[in-house]
């Protein structure tokens, strides 16, 4: 079965909407249990770090357990960095199919997120590289690498910023 660009785009739009709506459980359901969710950092030479095990990352979860823990902390107000929760608006564009395999396909897209908190609106922008997997007719994100292109981040970056 091949994964169409239209189906992938629909999932990316849905994921963005779920983040904006703070629908955390539904957002988690977009991810496979073995997902790798990674946002590498920029090093001193303006190159992305390449190994989340030995280099600094802005966010790194080797499976969905880390995402579930993050959502638990947000939902139970155990995340001081997320209190109060920001209001966000996510924009997804330039969805492009990169490669296909029997049950998976690789995509990339650009994103822009506006985040409002404490009377300040920040913007986060970049490119996401996503592998989608067809699991019994349902598309799940099995890998997500987020390249944040902001040069300066004045706060802790979190899952709802990208």
Domain range summary for the chain, segments of one domain joined by +: 5-161
Residue 77 clears pLDDT 70, i.e. is over it: no
What is residue 67's predicted lDDT score, i.e. its pLDDT? 96
Which is nearest to 154 in space by CA: 110, 106, 103, 115? Answer: 115
Please tell me which residue, 155 or 25, carries the higher pLDDT value. Answer: 25
Read off the pLDDT band of 151 (50, 70, 90): confident
pLDDT tens, residue by residue, 54-72: 999 999 999 999 999 989 9
Residue 80 clears pLDDT 70, i.e. is over it: no
Rounded Cα–Cα distance for residues 106 and 96 (Å): 9
Could you tell me if 131 and 106 are in contact, meaning their C-beta atoms sit under 8 angstroms apart?
A: yes
Of 3.40.50.970, 3.10.450.50, 3.40.50.150, 3.40.50.10330, which CATH number belongs to 5-161?
3.10.450.50
What is residue 83's predicted lDDT score, i.e. its pLDDT? 56
Please tell me which residue, 18 or 83, carries the higher pLDDT value. Answer: 18
Q: Averaged over 107-117, what is the pLDDT?
A: 94
- Long-range own/partner contacts, residues 150-157 (CB < 8 A, 24 or more apart): 150/123, 150/124, 150/125, 150/126, 153/58, 153/124, 154/122, 155/81, 155/122, 156/81, 157/39, 157/58, 157/59, 157/124
Q: Averaged over 1-18, what is the pLDDT?
A: 94
- Looking at the chain, the whole-number percentage of residues with pLDDT higher than 90 is 72
Residue the block writes with tokens 């950092």: 41
Residue 6 clears pLDDT 60, i.e. is over it: yes
Residue 143 clears pLDDT 90, i.e. is over it: yes
* 25-to-15, 31, 80, 151 alpha-carbon distances in Å: 11, 11, 20, 31
What is residue 58's predicted lDDT score, i.e. its pLDDT? 93
Q: Averaged over 78-95, what is the pLDDT?
A: 78
Which is nearest to 7 in space by CA: 141, 129, 162? Answer: 141
User: Residue 119: CB partners within 8 Å, gap ≥ 6?
Assistant: none
């Amino acid at each position: 079965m091949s994964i169409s660009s239209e189906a992938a785009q629909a999932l990316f739009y849905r994921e963005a909407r779920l983040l904006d709506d703070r629908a955390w459980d539904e957002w988690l359901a977009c991810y496979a249990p073995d997902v790798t969710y990674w946002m590498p950092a920029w090093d001193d030479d303006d190159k992305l770090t390449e190994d989340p095990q030995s280099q600094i990352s802005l966010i790194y979860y080797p499976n969905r357990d880390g995402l579930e823990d993050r959502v638990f902390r947000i939902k139970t107000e155990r995340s001081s960095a997320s209190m109060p929760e920001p209001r966000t608006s996510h924009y997804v564009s330039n969805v492009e199919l990169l490669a296909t395999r029997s049950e998976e396909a690789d995509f990339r897209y650009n994103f822009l997120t506006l985040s409002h908190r404490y009377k300040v609106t920040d913007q986060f922008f970049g490119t996401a590289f996503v592998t989608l997997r067809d699991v019994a007719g349902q598309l799940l994100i099995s890998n997500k690498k987020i390249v944040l292109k902001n040069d300066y981040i004045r706060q802790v970056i979190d899952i709802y910023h990208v």
